[in-house]
A and B are shown apart, each in its own frame.
Chain A
Amino acid sequence: MSILLLVLAAFFLPLFPASVVFNRLAAANDHLGVRLALFVLWPQIGVLLILWSDLAVAPGLIAAWALLSALLYAFRMLTVREVGRWSAMLASSAWPLAWLYALQTPGVANLVAFTLALTVAPVLMLLVCAALTTRLEAAYTGLHGGLARDLPRLSGVIVVTTLAAMALPLFPGFFALLAVLGGATLWMAIGILLTWLLWSWAGVRLLEGTVFGPRSGPIAADLTVLAAWGLSLLIGVIVAGGLAWTGGAL
């Protein structure tokens, strides 16, 4: 039973090749609301399944599988140009780390919060994808570059979201990675750090293909001041939430 639950969980906290299902589902739905619900709920189902199962069945195998999945998707992110697929691959790279965290037997609330912390960046990236699609008809990196010149507010949001995707301070992903590293073995730590490095590389490539470079593509309207403030507030709340969850360790 426990093994069956673990196999099932491999679809929701996606481990390759079961992760293909999530990526296909994410690509199949264009509606923003459906996508957001999918990104938020999908990994939490995996968390529930993990909590019901017994990870002690094969901890070494699970850890290795989760790490390789995280690395594989992080590596593949380097050359993905469609922002929607990019965020799905980011999620497919980040969520397997919840398995590693679960192996350290944290509390239920901590595991849920950990998975949410790793969900924040892909969800924000979905919002960016929607904003780009609305204005430029497609959210492809390298297709309509140099947005910083004409769309400074949208560019600012893309930059901040990409920093969240790279799990840089003070975003929740940064503290989530520190939390999982705190109890990691050497090989686990090296694998996580490599994944983290690949996220950074992929993030910079995304910025180079959207925000920076010579301006190309159709004329488009920038985000309204209200929308920019709204997104800034949302990001501020997310950062504060992350700090509230992980802070106070000294």
Chain B
Amino acid sequence: MIELQWLIPLLPFVAALLVHLLSGRPGQQVARLSVALNLVVVILAAYQLFHYIAADTGPQWAALAGGWVSLQIDPLSAIMALVVSGISLVVHIYSVRYMVEEPGYGRFFMLLDLMTGSILLMVVAGDLITLLVAWHLIGVMLYFLLGHNTEPPRTQRYAFWTFIAYRLGDLPLVLAAVILFQTYGVLDFPTLFERIAAMPDARTFMDLPVTGSVAFLVALAAFAKSAQFPLHVWLPYTMEGPTPVSALMHAGIVNAGGIIINRFAPVFVHSSEILHLLFVVGLLTALIGSVLMLTQNDIKKALGYSTMGQMGFMVMEAGAGAFALAIFHLIAHGVFKGTLFLNAGNVINAARRHDGVPNEPLYDFLVERKSAPTRLPWLMIAAVTLIVPLAILVMVHAWAAQDFFQQQGAIVLLFFGWVAGVQVLFSAYRLDTENPLRMMALIILSFTVVVVGYVVVGHTFEAFLYPDAAFRAALYSAASIHELTFNMLVVLLAIIMVLGWMGAYFTRVRRPPADEGNGSTWLILYSLFSRELYVADVCERVTARLLDLSKRLNVWLRWS
């Protein structure tokens, strides 16, 4: 049903036009019109996805008569169209009342519709030009949505940061499209990817490999759109925009990097070095995002850095060859981050009613007659914490896919799963509870349920997104490194992790007095992280210098 696919990006644009024309009407009528049309898009996207699965017709592609624009339906476009339109619909419904007292109510819905249409166009684009048009429009729409409140200079400044970062991400994709067109002479994706598969060793400028160069440029584009280090500066500051925009951005727009990497998977499969680059940049971003999140005292910025960390994990997964898992991750992240943002008002209200500060243990013991918290022996806990998550992960993966362990990427993902599991159990140990055994058992049970669900859904999802098993294996294979190096790295990382946990445990047990002097190294590190590694400061300084130079040139050349 490729014909219906046209309606998916078209309807939001129609909604935007209608909202603009009818924006003079009082009340919430235009917003409800926008919501209704977006609901139709969600129904269409759901129908397309289920029809694609049920009819099993395989990917389809179609262009308008005259070859103006083309669309496609394949697993990636079908699933992402539903996700994007679904999140957008929730944001639309939320905004109907949330934005009603804001100036520019109609304009907001028009921009929201334009943004939705642009993302959907990117998702279903069937050729390079349509993709480029959509890719550019996303940045433009985001700029105007973030700057919806037109007066505060702070809002405009941070909207500008986002816009420039997105422009930095637009241009590498343009260059990638140029290289692909110059080399293979076609624009539509099906023919393009066929030719790439037939001629993966083609060369381009300066005798560089086409696939490697294009993969590198696509990766750069994804880094800027998905806030990878050091192009992350804009993300934590986007909270100046309205809350629904934050929700849409953190749940949907920022995922564009993962989508574009998956779209160009037939290029990445021939570019091992770039997959390694994705892994390293993703890992660095995840680490820096997480550390910066922990050192922020502004909760909104902390949420922004949390998204940055998650985007780092997503890119890292792609770098490990788990392309489908990156999409699964971005969907899961989109749902929970969207919920967090849209629920922010309720959290604030709840905080006003109850401060959330836990009682002193002495108060609990004397007034509420609760027995004192107990803890399990640390040796037992250490053994359970380190071994149980590993055992659960290995058993569940072995049950879900026998050949899973043959791929290095799979081991990497297991390793991170293990780290996350240990972290959960370690945190559980630190909780004060009357019955620690029961608490530990419940957490292990929850962890098992999560792992089983994640693994089963993950493997099913991977088979849906990339039905060709040979292609999936080729992606993992391309992401692999020398076996000895890989094993050494895993062991080294495991040792670092365990030492880190032990350090954290003994620091807590020792409980150093608050006034004990910290080493200057820690203070320097803390100031470095609390100032966000000075990346924003450096950018501002460079910007000021460039503007100064431009002004001097103009004066020197007498403004002509």
Q: Could you tell me the distance in whole angstroms from the C-beta of B9 to the nearest C-beta in chain A?
A: 13
Can you name the residue of chain B whose Cβ is closest to the Cβ of A193? B171
Q: Do A249 and B560 have beta carbons less than 8 Å apart?
A: no
- Chain A positions within 8 Å of B174 at CB level: 178, 181, 193
B129 within 8 A of A: yes
Q: Is chain A's interface secondary structure helix, strand, loop, or mixed overall?
A: helix
- Taking a contact as CB atoms under 8 Å apart, the answer to whether A185 and B67 are in contact is no
Task: Check if B129 sits within 8 Å of A249, measured CB to CB.
Answer: yes
Q: List 8 A-B contacts (CB under 8 A).
A: A24-B560, A159-B144, A181-B174, A197-B167, A211-B150, A213-B153, A248-B68, A250-B68
Our pick among A146, A196, A211 for the contact of B171 (Cβ within 8 Å) is A196
Q: Is B240 an interface residue (CB 8 A)?
A: no
Whole-angstrom CA separation of A208 from B67 in the bound complex: 38
B70 touches A75 (CB 8 A): no
Q: Are A204 and B163 in contact (CB under 8 A)?
A: yes
A-binding residues in B (CB < 8 A): 63, 66-70, 103, 127, 129, 132-133, 136-137, 140, 143-144, 147, 150-151, 153, 156, 160, 163-164, 167-168, 171, 174-175, 178, 181-182, 187-188, 205-206, 546-547, 549-551, 553-554, 557, 559-560
Is A212 in contact with B550, judged by CB distance below 8 angstroms? no
For the complex formed, measure the closest distance between the CB of B86 and the CB atoms of chain A, giving whole angstroms: 26
| Neighbouring B residues of A193 by C-beta, 8 Å | 171, 174-175
Q: Which residues of A contact B140 (CB under 8 A)?
A: 163, 168
Chain A residues within 8 Å of B175, by CB: 181, 189-190, 193
Interchain nearest-CB distance for B178 vs A (Å): 5
The distance from the CB of A45 to the nearest CB of chain B, in whole angstroms, is: 19
Q: Which residue of A lies closest to B130 (CB)?
A: A250
A interface residues with partner B (beta carbon < 8 Å): 20, 23-24, 27, 72, 75-76, 78-80, 85, 146, 148-149, 159, 163, 168-170, 174, 178, 181-186, 189-190, 193, 196-197, 200-201, 204, 208, 211-215, 243, 247-250
Q: What 12 new A-B contacts, CB under 8 Å, besides A163-B140, A211-B150, A247-B66?
A: A23-B559, A27-B560, A149-B151, A159-B144, A168-B136, A168-B137, A174-B133, A182-B181, A193-B171, A197-B168, A204-B160, A248-B68
B156 touches A178 (CB 8 A): no
| Interface SS of B by simple majority | helix
Query: Measured between C-beta atoms, what is the minimum distance from A245 to chain B in Å?
Result: 12
- With A168-B140, A170-B133, A243-B68 known as contacts, the answer to whether A146 contacts B150 (CB < 8 A) is yes
Contact of B156 among A181, A182, A208 (CB under 8 A): A208
Selected contact of B547 from candidates A24, A78, A184, CB within 8 Å: A78
> Given the complex of chains A and B, what is the CA–CA distance between A20 and B133 in angstroms?
34
- CB of B253 to closest CB in A, whole Å: 17
The 5 closest A-B pairs by CB, nearest first: A250-B67, A186-B205, A23-B560, A169-B133, A148-B150
How many Å lie between the Cα of A196 and that of B175 in the bound state? 12
Q: Please give me the residue from chain A that is nearest to B553 by CB atom.
A: A76
Are A208's CB and B160's CB within 8 A? Answer: yes
- Which residues of chain A have C-beta atoms less than 8 A from B164's C-beta? 200-201, 204
Q: Are B153 and A214 in contact (CB under 8 A)?
A: yes
Q: For residue A197, which residues in chain B have a CB less than 8 angstroms away from its CB?
A: 167-168, 171
**Closest chain A CB from B68 CB (angstroms):** 5
Give the complex CA separation of A202 and B549 in angstroms: 14
| Chain A, residue nearest B560 (CB) | A23
Across the interface, name the chain B residue whose C-beta is closest to A25: B560
Chain A residues whose C-beta falls within 8 Å of the C-beta of B132 in the assembled complex? 169, 178
Which B residues touch A178, using CB under 8 A? 129, 132, 174
Closest to A167 in B: B136
- Min CB gap B152→A, angstroms: 8
Q: How far is the CA of A184 from the CA of B546 in the complex (A)?
A: 27
Which chain B positions have C-beta within 8 A of A204? Answer: 143, 160, 163-164
Is the CB–CB distance between A249 and B187 below 8 Å?
yes
Partner of A247, one of B67, B160, B182: B67
Residues in B neighbouring A24, C-beta threshold 8 A? 560
B382 to chain A, nearest CB (A): 53
| Closest A residue to B204 using CB positions | A186
Nearest B residue to A180 via CB reads B178
Q: Which residue from A79, A169, A247, A248 sits with its C-beta under 8 Å from B551? A: A79
**How distant is the Cα of A243 from the Cα of B130 in the complex, in angstroms?**
12
The answer for the CA separation of A234 and B560 in the assembled complex, in Å, is: 29
How many angstroms from the CA of A186 to the CA of B167 in the assembled complex? 19
- Report Cα–Cα, A159/B550, bound state, in Å: 23
Q: Are B559 and A80 in contact (CB under 8 A)?
A: yes
Q: How far is the CA of A65 from the CA of B260 in the complex (A)?
A: 35
User: Nearest chain-A residue to B555 (Cβ)?
Assistant: A79
* Chain B residues closer than 8 Å to A27, beta-carbon distance: 559-560
B150: contacting residue among A174, A185, A201, A212, CB under 8 A: A212
Contacts of B147 in A (CB 8 A): 212
Q: Given A201-B164, A213-B151, A250-B68 in contact, is the A76-B205 Cβ separation under 8 Å?
A: no
Q: What's the Cα separation between A204 and B158 when bound, in Å?
A: 12
**Residue in B66, B547, B560 whose beta carbon sits within 8 Å of that of A79 in the complex:** B547
Determine how close the nearest CB of chain B comes to the CB of A155; give it in whole angstroms.
8
**Residue contact B136 to A174, C-beta cutoff 8 Å:** yes
A24 to chain B, nearest CB (A): 5
Residues in chain B near residue A170, CB distance under 8 A: 133
How far apart sit A204 and B546, CA to CA, in the bound complex (Å)? 15
* Contacting residues, chain B, for A212 (C-beta < 8 A): 147, 150-151, 156
When C-beta atoms are compared, the residue in chain A nearest to B171 turns out to be A193
In Å, the complex CA distance between A182 and B188 comes to 15
For the complex, give the distance between the alpha carbons of A186 and B551 in Å: 30
